[in-house]
Amino acid sequence: MISHRLREIALCLISTGLVAHTFAFGQEIPALAPQPATLVGTVADVNGGVVPGATLMLSRSISDEHLTTRSDSNGFFQLANVPPGADWHLTVRMQGFADWISEAIVLTPGQYRLLTGVQLHLAMVEVSVAALTPEQAATEEVRTEEKQRILGVIPNFYVAYDRNPVPLTAKLKFHLARKILTDPVTIAGFVLNASIYQAAHYPDYREGVDGYGERLGSTFAGGYANVLIGDALLPSILHQDPRYFYQGRGTTRSRLLDALSTPILTYGDNGRRQFNFSGIGGDLASGAIACAYYPTQQRDVSLVYKSGLIGAGGRIANGLLQEFVLKRIGSRRRKK
């Protein structure tokens, strides 16, 4: 009886020890970590084309965790070993495109999730354009033309090389006239012309310094009248352009005809060809004023017509030279 009792006590102690040992062993085994998730997808543009080389960053606001990768040549991306959980956000960046940010992404343990709808839009670009008024554009043209000189010396201001020149305002027409008349080379030309007349004893002025002064005054009067009336006053009133419009292209015949027609035809401020009232009027006015300075015995109305013919011939010569010669030897113009 006693031995039977002792056997029961021994079995009880052994069972208690086994339970305690099993409980202790269970406490030593750590809990299994949740399986990581994987996020995949394709980066495309709004037209459906793939976007390779885009930078992708998966992050969450509740921690500093983040993972990055790049899309491959097919636009595909894969973010592996992502801790499962909520509040993940994917940001996609690519030069030339606006950033794409996903809505909150929830990943479950071991999930292999395909993210769709990753489409990049072109970035908005702000462009600031300084728009010039027609008068400002014409002023820029005139500033360029004021730098045009033949062989770097002789003024060549009255030539428009631009394909579509802006019409000149009346203010700019008078400005160009003043610029050419006050240029030292122009003044030297008047002095040389008076010297030639002095040597030829034409017109019949007195000899010596007094005669030279009279010839110089006549030359200045005629030259100034031609420019002020023919290139500034009448073009402003009649809305015509006093410049020669360089053609520079087309057949030789068309360019030749264009140059030969300059005494008769000119361009209006509206860009259309018109009868050259301004140029012809300036030549006749110049002849009339110069004639008034001539000695009484040489004053004749024929001088006015001769002045007009000389002016027409000069315009033809200028057109031919401008079209076929002078552009090659003129000083360089700054490109706008």
Residue ranges of the domains in the chain? 37-120, 134-329
Of all residues in the chain, what percent carry a pLDDT higher than 90? 59
Collapse the DSSP code of 138 into the 3-class scheme (helix H, G, I; strand E, B; otherwise coil) and give the result: helix
Rounded Cα gap, residues 66 and 39, in angstroms = 13
Question: What are the pLDDT digits (tens) for 120-154?
Answer: 998 877 666 667 888 899 999 999 999 999 999 99
Residue with the larger pLDDT of the pair 15 and 52: 52
In this predicted structure, what is the pLDDT of residue 76?
A: 96
Q: Which pLDDT belongs to residue 335?
A: 43
For residue 12, give the H/E element and its range: helix 2-28
The whole-number pLDDT of residue 336 equals 40
What pLDDT score does 187 carry?
A: 96
Please, what is the angle between helix 208-228 and helix 184-200, to 10°?
Answer: 130
CA distance 207 to 197: 11
Taking the alpha carbons of 175, 176, 180, 181 in that order, is the dihedral positive or negative?
Answer: negative
Task: Classify residue 42 as exposed, middle or buried by CB count within 10 Å of its CB (0-12, 13-18, 19+).
Answer: middle
Q: 10 Å Cβ neighbour count for 305?
A: 13
Any long-range contacts for 43-48 (C-beta under 8 Å, 24+ apart)? 43/71, 43/75, 43/77, 43/92, 43/94, 43/118, 43/120, 44/75, 44/118, 44/119, 44/120, 45/97, 45/119, 45/120, 45/121, 45/122, 46/119, 46/120, 46/121, 46/122
Enumerate residues 6+ apart whose C-beta is below 8 A from 270.
167, 239
pLDDT class of 170 with cuts at 50, 70, 90: very high
Q: Residue 31 has what pLDDT?
A: 55
Fold of 37-120: Immunoglobulin-like (2.60.40)
Average of pLDDT values for 273-279?
A: 95
Higher local confidence (pLDDT), 32 or 253: 253
Mean pLDDT, rounded, for 244-252:
90
Judged against a pLDDT cut of 50, whether residue 22 lies above it is answered with: no
pTM over 0.85: no
Beta-bridged to residue 44, according to DSSP, are 50, 119
CA distances from 202 to 195, 299, 305 (A): 10, 13, 18
Query: What's the pLDDT score for residue 297?
Result: 77
More reliable by pLDDT, 181 or 20: 181
Of 160-164, 178-182, 220-224, highest mean pLDDT? 178-182
User: Residue 127: what pLDDT?
Assistant: 63
Burial class (CB in 10 A: 0-12, 13-18, 19+), 95: exposed
- Picking from 67, 78, 76, the residue whose alpha carbon sits closest to that of residue 113 is 78
Q: Which two tokens stand for residue 221?
A: 């009067």
Mean pLDDT of 207-224: 90
Q: Do residues 89 and 69 lie in contact, with contact meaning Cβ atoms separated by under 8 Å?
A: no
